[in-house]
Each structure stands twice: as structure tokens, then as C-alpha cells.
Structure 1
Amino acid sequence: MKSETLIASVIIPVYNKEKYLNNCIEVLNKQTLDHDKFEAIFVDDGSKDQSLRIIENAAKNHAWIRVIAQENGGVCSARNTGIRAAQGTYLFYLDPDDDLSPDTLLKVSNFFNGHKNEIDLVTYKIVPYDEGEKKNLHFRYDVLTASGVYDLQRGDNWLVCQTTMNICVKNKFENNHTFNFKTNNGTVYHEDQQYITEILHDKKKIGYCAGPKYNWNKNSSSASNNIVNPYFIFDNTMTMFETLFSLDGGTPSKYIQGLFINDLAWKMRSSSPLPTHLQGEEYKVALERFKALLKRVDDAVILRHPNMQVYHKYFFLQLKSASNIELNFGPNGISAMRDGKFLFSREKVNLHILRTRLTKHKLVLFGVVKSPFFLFSDEMPTLSVQIQNKGGFSSTYLPLYDSSVSSCGSTQTVAKFFNFRYEINLNTPSRTAFKVEFAGHSFDTYLSFLETRCNFSQPLNYLAFQGNTKIAITRDMGTILVSRVKNPTVELKSSSRTVKIVRKLIQVQKKKKEERNSEIWLYSDASNRLDNAWYQFLHDAQKNDGVTRYYVAHNANTSSFTPKRNAKVIEANTRLHKLLYLNADKILVSDIVRDTYVPWTNVALKKYADLCNAELIYLQHGVLWAHLPNYYSYDRVLFDKEVISTKFEMENLTANYGFLESDLLACGMPRYDFIDADQQPKKRFCCALLGDNILLEILSMENASLSPINSRTLIITRGLQHSFQMQHCKRF
């Protein structure tokens, strides 16, 4: 095959991809470009499985397949080998576990032919799949709406943010760009982004060919999933962006600034872009290196970037430089300015309600006070509640607590939010409003709800009823109105006859239950196991206290249990389970994941939100030692009560996790029924670690007969060091 007849060269790096290769070959074989017009260069990078044999056999049957075998050098080395060998006019890239639409090579090449002198790189649509599930398209397709050439220096084209290998590159042979990513620790990451950006920099334009698709199949076995921690990639990321920022001399282009903010955005959601793996002086030095890049990014790029969560934007504005951000207070709220330029403003403060519990006599609220401006001040806000009822007007201040929700979906604190609790008496009609005072100014509030955990939802117009008591939320005014109505069912409107029937049925059942002075308790474990809820159910089933108990079995073998009049086993997610969930008084669970105990979808449950009145009780496992506030703080688990077994837990959860003592049931785990509680406890401890590549080293132990045990451990998990003290935990 003569090189002048070749239009496209597809470069496929291969390392231990035997299970994907046959499909990859078939994808290329289905390309509509004449097979004598393209070549597929498979570069085997020292595979240890049957990959090389598979592609060599395929090459015998397909003249368009070329195979190059080399010693393992990594994906950059394999691609560079392919680039040097390529004879086609255009270079395409494909990973063996991804695929292309059949028209990709033909249509992209034809598009490139029409714009050859304008551009060096063409992109086409990438469609992400995660374990087979199709995910949302990249935000760049809000800009790339039609085939054409896009000037990256004009308008919103800086948001194209091309970082993935759904590209076609002009083959310049000996003048080709190659993958020259520099790494100081052997970890290669972002090599695609650097390669693409260096090619685009020459002409600062990109071509887009609508129609063809690159199907990107993300999977848990991907090597990149295991190295996104800053321990592995912080230094490499800094080196790459320092290189890219230098391409334009002093000030990086808006396009490259956008790449940097995009990188921060997704890392904030997955791990951290900051050097959190370092401590002390090393951390300070690394953070200054990071801030040196951040200071070269325009505030407008941070604020306008569509991929970054809004509170993460405010965090980076503050990290960039908080000293020259000024807060201005006026009749229309607060605004933030930097060097005389407007950044953002807010008229009201958000009270985001995370959990409500509606009982016969009271409405319990648990929420968080949110405002971006708290981050830019050392002053702490105050929250007052103002009540108007037949007794007149009263006002009181509510205690505020640091909230773990301040992480805003990241692994670190990026905001200053504060939790609060309040109970509204439903026995008397009233109007409740909230005010926030901050920096000497008073602000109105507006209410929002985590609707999957609250009794108020959009399908119910944020109304709820308890008997003839109506509770109405005016969200934009931040008020809650309690009143009496004659016929509560008339005011809850729904287009679904089924919803109305179910609601009526539950209301009738609740009334009968109240007349009999009886209760319904549900017990639920995770799927395919019998856990703490099962043991608690077996224990409680012996009681005759007017409570009817149901164990909810999730594919678990409960055949050993003999049903009783007041204790039965039901299957999870059945119609009966759904009705009982709405009618339950208590739900006891051993797993905080909602799917393990909620039989309704989130969308369906919102239509019955006001009927969900059960007290949620968490039968937690063991003793929580690791510091995990983003998982187990009160504002995360959102359970009404938690069972604990030791004094250490009481102290730890109240001091560090936002629990009140009244939230904790100090009675021991149900499995204590299976041990001799009267036996004298031994001075010993168990350290159970989850994860792979773990090295545990006991550095010292002094006088193990004492309590607490004086021992320090060092755990290295995927290269991360965690040091903690172990104590002997006394039972209640």
C-alpha cells in the first residue's frame, strides 16, 4: 500500500486489552472509508496477556492492520511509536475499549480536506458511558453546535476545552507534535490535554465535524481511576499547566485559563486539586505554587465556567486573594467586588432544609444557613426565628453549628455554612419567619428543601397536613404558616388517580392505627445480608407491646424465622413494603444508603412526602474511629437517632460530628446479645482495614495493659499516609 493513497492512520495503543480487541477490530472493519484508504496501527506495549497474538492473527486477515510490538514504555511511548510509523494524511486515536461510529474516518477526513489550511486539529462528538450507562455530554457541545471552524479567541469558544482524544490531527510527519508529558514521579496523567493544547496553540482554532461519534467507555478497571489523588498527580498537574501558561508569554489565553479551571472543577468533585497529601512547610510551598497559577486566571473565567459548582467558584476567588475582595451592603442585599469590579451578589440568605419530621404536635426542622459571603468575613452570622400567633409576637436566636455540608460536594471545606434546628408547635396557628444578621446587617431568608428527606415537595406545592392542621411553606419569603382547615384532602392536588387512592388509603390506616394506639416498625438491612436490623428484629419480635414489626428482606434467607401475629417478614420493594413505609412509625436500618430501606423512587416519593412520618434509627456498625465527617456527620446521615455502644462514641459524635446527646441511643449494638456481656473485657484491640495495597506498621506500643492504649499506627493506602491514635473503647 503506497503512502500517498492513505487518508487516515488510526493509532491504537495496546496493553493487556485482550477482551476488547476483537470488538475494536470489528469497529474499524465497519468504517465506511474505503479500507485501502486507511491503516490501523496497533502498538502492543509489552502486553502480558494474549493481546499481541490477537492483533497479529487479525493482521493476517486484514491488510489495513499494522502491528508494532515494543517493550512496555507506557501509553505516551506507544502513541509516539504509532505517530512515527503513520503514513496517512490524518491521524486518529482510539483506545481498544472505546469505539467509533462507522462514518467517523470518512466524514472527519472529508471535513478536514475542506479546511486544511485553517486548522491543525478537528474534534468530533464524544459520548461517555460509565459501566454501560450513557452519561451527559460535555458542556463544549453548548458551543460546538454545528460543523465549522471555531476561533478559540472569540466569544465563548474558550469553553470548547478539548482534553480528550476524540480528535483528528494533521500528519506533519517529521514535524509532528508528540506526547512529551514530563513526570517527576513516574505517573503519567493529562498527557492527552497537553498534546492537544500544544497543537491548537499554533493557530488557536479548532475544527468541529458534527455527526461522527467517539464512544468513550469508562470502566472501574481503568488505570486512571486509581491515580487521581493529589499524591500521584499534583506535581505533574502543576508542571503541565506551568508549561501551558508559558505558551503565551506573560498572560495565558482565556482558552488555557479555562482548561485550568475545568481541571480544578472535576478534581474538586473526585479528590482534590490542592496538595492535601502534604503537611506543614511542604504544604505551604506547594499551595503557593498552585496560587501562582490561580492568580493568573481572570475572575470572569472562574465565575463563568459551566463545569464548576458555584460555591467552588467562590472558594477559588477567595483562595486567589481574599484581601482585595470588598463586601458592599445595600438595600438589595450584598455584593462582592474586587478592585472595583463586580463579582456577584445575593439579596437573601438561603436556609436549606435537610430534614423535617412531621408528628401530631410538632414539625421538626433541621437545616443549614448558606451564603457565599460568610467565606469572605471572619464574622459569624446569627439566625433568629420570629413567631406570630394568638399570643402575640416573639423572637429568639437559634444556636448555630459548623456544618460538614460546607464541603459542597468536595473532599475539603470550601464554604462557611452553619447547621440549625427548630421545632414548630402545631397545636396553635402561627406564622414563623427567619432572619439572618451578618456583619451588622439584617437579611431576609428564602427556604429550599432536600425533598427526598423532607415532608414538603414541589408536587405537593410545599404543603403538608397533620389531621386538620395545614402547614404551608412560602419559600421565597422564608415563612411557615400553620393553620386549621376543614377538609385537608381537597387542597392536595394531583393529576394521578392512583396517587389520590394511595394517599386516602394511608390516611385511613393512620387514623385506625391511632385509634388502636398501635405502631408499625420496619427493620431493613442491605441487600443479600442479615445484619444488625435482623438481629434487632429477632430480639424485638419477642415483645408484646402493641407494635407490629416487619423485617424487610432484600434477597436474604429468612426461612429460619417463624412468623408471628405481630412480627412478619416481607420482601423489599413490593407494594406492601411501599404502603408500610408510608405508614411506619419507626424504621430501623443498618445501612445509611437510602436504597436499602426506601422502596419508592425519589420522584414518586415526593407525591407522598407529607405522609412520611417515621422516626429513622441507624443501627450503626462497630465503633466509628476514622475521622469521616463528610460521611457520618449528623447533617449527612440525617437519621433521627443513632445507636451507639461506647462512651467514646458519645464524646466523638457530639464533639466532631454535630450530634446532640439526645440524638444518640446509648444501648449497645444488637449483636451484644450474642456475647457474654458480663465477661471481664480484655485489653486488646482489632484494627480492620478496607482497600488494597495497604501496609500497616505498628510503630510503638507502650504498656498495653493501660487504658487508653498508647499506640500509634501508620497506614499507607495507595501511597497516602494516615496516622492516628488508638484507644480502648469502654462499653456502656
Structure 2
Amino acid sequence: MHLLSIVIPVYNVQKYITKCINSILGQIKENPNVELIIVDDGSPDNSIDIIKPLIESCSNVRLISQQNKGLSEARNVGLSYSKGEYVWFIDSDDYISNDIMEGILGELDGGIDMLQLNWQTVFENNKETIINHDYNFKKGIVSGLEAFLNNLVPIQVQFTIFRRDFLIENRLRFYPGIYHEDSEFKPRAIYLAKSIKFHEPIVYNYLQRLNGSITSSFKIKNGLDTMIVAKNLKNFYQNTIRENIAQRKMRQYIALFYNSLLYGYNQLSKEEKRILYTKMKENRYIFREMIKSGHLKYVLEGVLLSLNLNMGISAYSLIKHTK
């Protein structure tokens, strides 16, 4: 049995995949404690042709192919094939830092459910690197509840290593076919974790593509999937979370996430707005979650949206654009 399984879903990343794979192979080649599982999610470009020569002499690397099903299903498939005690989902356009693997393996002692990693954001134009984030990596070990209540762990899945049995025992899988899969998955994982350890060295390089901002890429599917995520998280806290303070925290998270829908609404076409507006009316329960969040901003938004959906959307847009 391996100590760590690294899972990399691959789809249309021929520009980035060599750097990603090589950053890992140089540190795990022939290492019996680590396996690399590459999931070809039906990639139509040359990504797999680039990968095959890189891994042909590596005994601890497996390439699995499937028809295109999306990032969530590719991760789920990688998890099902993994044999490691821990699993690390790495995005195929990112890369890991040099000489970091032994330090990570030394942290994986079997007694923690999650290892939270430190990272930096690297811009595609190579003009800027940002390490400036608000997470304290000197916390040591905390409970999932403490991490959840105090925003100690970011939502991005690739910055965290998970104990495989923890995921399996809690039936934690990625919801298929949606954008924002991390936002649906990670809050549940954080809350359910008994122990989360923090690893301070910067080990992960998160690539910010030039066209990657929400302001330039919001689509109607973003909005529709936001409501799926909100519904799933509402069901989760109603069925699983018992602490009132944690229920309120999840409502605040749902409200914060729903704000991304309100922010992107005016970027849609008239017909797309009509479709999304109808869905928002069908999912009015989200406004009640905002009102019950206990956070003044979200309470006011929820009240306005409940009273008059058009007025609530207009008020949100007006406030955003006058800041």
C-alpha cells in the first residue's frame, strides 16, 4: 500500500501538462510510498500524447482513460483507483514546488484526516507571484469544526491532502456535472474532519490563467450550478450539522456563494437572465437561508430578494457599482 496517491485529471491542457507532470515525477520516480494516477477525461487535444513519453519508464504511474465526464467524475475515478492512505488531487495546469515531497510524506502519519498545504498564485504572464493570503499555517492541528467556524481552510481542493478512508467512510464524492465542485465538496469535508494539520512551506503553485477572472467568464451555468450547490449544502447542514453556530456558519457560506450569482447576473443575455430569474424564483428558500444567516449584509439581501426579486437584484447591482 502506498502512503500517498496523487490524482491528476487531464482535459485540454497541452500547454501546461509537461510542467505539471515533470514537477511531480522528479520527486516520486520509483518512490514506493507514492503513486501517480492520471485520469484522461476524454481530452481532445495532444495532452495524452505529451504525457505518455514522460511516464513510460515509471512503475508507480498509471494512466486511466474515460469518455469526457467533467472534473468531478475524473476525480472520483482517480479516487476509486487510488491505493494510497492519503489522496492529493492536483490540477493539471498547476505544478508543485521543488524538493517538497519528503516534507509532505513526513506529515502523513495516519492520525489526521486532512493536511492543509500552503500555496502561491502564479500568473500566466510570469509578471507576478502572490503569496498574500489570509490563512494561518502555524496553527498545528485543529478540529474540523474549529476550522469550519473560523475560516481556517480555503475552499480549493488542490491545496489539501485527504485521508482516503475519511473520504470513503463519509461518502465524500465530487458532485458530477457542475461548476463550483470544490464549493460543494470542501465545506462538507472540513466540517466532518476530526483533525486538520497545517503544513507551512509553500508546496503548490496555483496558475492564474489570463482569462480566468469571474468578471470575464460568468455563464448561465455558473448561476444554475450555484443553486445546486446551495441546495446540497442546505441539505447537508439540516441532516448532519447539529451545532447552531455551525448551522449559521453554513448559511453564511451559502449566502456568500450566492452573491457570486448576483454579481454575474447582469453579464448575461436577456434570454439567459429570464431563465436564471425563473430558477431563482423556484429556489426562493435560499433567500430564507440568507435571512437566517445572522450576517447583516446577507440578511438585508435576503429580505430584499424575498420582497421583490427584481428590486433585490437591482439593489445589489447598484451597491456593487457605486463602491
Alpha-carbon distance change, 277 to 37 in structure 1, aligned in 2, over 3 angstroms: same
Distance 1:156 1:281 in 2: 31
Out of 116, 128, 151, the position equivalent to 1:123 is 116
Normalising by the residue count of structure 1, what TM-score does the alignment of the two structures yield?
0.37
Tell me what 2:247 maps to.
253
SS at 1:201's partner residue?
A: helix
Change (3 A) 1:159 1:198: closer
TM-score (norm 2): 0.78
For 1:58, what is the secondary structure of its paired residue? helix
Q: Which residue of 2 aligns with 1:606?
A: none
Deviations 1:303-359 (A, max 9, x none): 6xxxxxxxxx3xx3322337xxxxxxxxxxxxxxxxxxxxxxxxxxxxxxxxxxxxx
SS state of the match for residue 72, structure 1?
Answer: coil
| Equivalent residue in structure 2 for 1:181, among 175, 180, 186 | 175
**Alpha-carbon contact 2:30-2:58 (below 8 Å) kept:** no
Q: Taking every aligned residue pair, what percent have the same amino acid on both sides?
A: 20
Distance 1:191 1:60, change over 3 A: same
Instruction: Tell me the equivalent position of 1:71.
Output: 67
User: Is 1:413–2:309 an aligned residue pair?
Assistant: no
Q: Which has the larger radius of gyration?
A: 1
Query: 1:16, 1:280 → 2: CA distance?
Result: 29
For the structure 1 residues 191 and 155, does the alpha-carbon distance in structure 2 shift closer, same or farther, using more than 3 Å as the test? closer
Q: Is residue 167 from structure 1 mapped to residue 72 from structure 2 by the alignment?
A: no
Q: Is 1:158 matched with 2:120?
A: no
- After TM superposition, the structure 1 = structure 2 runs for residues 32-51 of structure 1, keeping only pairs within 5 Å, are 35-51=31-47
In the TM superposition, what whole-angstrom CA distance separates every residue of 1:227-275 from its partner, at most 9, and x where no partner exists?
534x22223212222222332328553542443344245566666799x
Aligned to 1:216: 206
After superposition, where does 1:325-724 map in structure 2 within 5 Å? Answer: 412-414=317-319
One of 119, 125, 138 as aligned partner of 2:133:
138
User: In the TM superposition, what is the alpha-carbon distance from 1:167 to its structure 2 partner?
Assistant: 0.9
**Contact preservation (8 Å) 2:40, 2:66:** yes
Structure 1 residue 106: deviation in Å? 2.8
Aligned to 1:237: 226
Task: Give the secondary structure class of the aligned counterpart of 2:318.
Answer: coil
Structure 1 residue 101: deviation in Å?
A: 1.8
CA 1:197 to 1:43, structure 2 compared with 1: closer, same or farther past 3 Å? same
Decide whether the 8 Å contact of 2:123 with 2:129 is kept in 1.
Answer: yes
Does the 8 Å CA contact 2:137/2:199 hold for their aligned counterparts?
no
In 2, the alpha carbon distance for the partners of 1:318 and 1:295 equals 7
* Residues 1:253 and 1:103: Cα distance change in structure 2 (over 3 Å): farther
Gaps of 5+ in 1: 304-312, 323-405, 416-629, 637-732
Alignment partner, residue 308 of structure 2:
none
Equivalent residues of 1:161, 1:255 under 8 A apart: no
2:30 & 2:197 partners in 1: Cα distance? 23
1:54 counterpart SS class: helix
Query: Residue type matched to 1:244 in 2?
Result: L
Give the strand-richer structure, 1 or 2. 1
Contact 1:9 1:88 in 2 (8 A): yes
Q: Tell me whether 1:201 sits opposite 2:194 in the alignment.
A: no
Distance change in 2, residues 1:155/1:7 (3 Å): closer
C-alpha separation in 1, matches of 2:267 and 2:108: 36
| Distance of 1:85 and 1:43 partners within structure 2 | 10
Please name the residue that 2:300 is paired with.
Answer: 318
Q: List runs of 5+ in structure 2 lacking aligned partners.
A: 305-313
Judging by fraction of residues, say which structure has more helix: 2
Q: Distance in 1 between the 2:41 and 2:58 partners? A: 21
| Aligned-partner Cα distance in 2 for 1:289–1:197 | 20
Q: Distance in 2 between matches of 1:211 and 1:33?
A: 22
Q: Are 1:285 and 2:281 an aligned pair?
A: yes
The 1:155/1:60 distance shift into structure 2, 3 A limit, reads closer
Q: Residues 14 and 147 of structure 1: is their aligned pair in 2 closer, same or farther, counting only changes over 3 Å?
A: same
Cα RMSD of the aligned pairs, angstroms, is: 3.7
